[in-house]
Amino acid sequence: MFAPATAGEVRFGKNVRIGGHDFSNQTYDSKHRARIYLYNGKPRKEGCVWRKDGHGGRVKVCHLQRK
């Protein structure tokens, strides 16, 4: 027997910070995901961009420096 896959959703509320960067009021689920990379030094491609994930969804890819 296999259990059905569950769909989860993550909602960031007020004052949510990741590595010192503001991620407040953002929602992610199976179609809209986030991949966040934190660097101690300055990253080559700093910032966030939306990319296709190849499965009909989108991924927000962020290269951020820790504050």
Q: Where are the domains of the chain?
A: 32-67
The C-alpha atoms of residue 58 and residue 14 are separated, in whole angstroms, by: 23
| pLDDT tens-digit profile, the chain (67 residues) | 555 655 678 888 899 998 899 999 999 998 899 999 999 999 998 999 999 988 889 999 999 999 8
> Could you tell me if 62 and 47 are in contact, meaning their C-beta atoms sit under 8 angstroms apart?
yes
The reported pTM is: 0.77
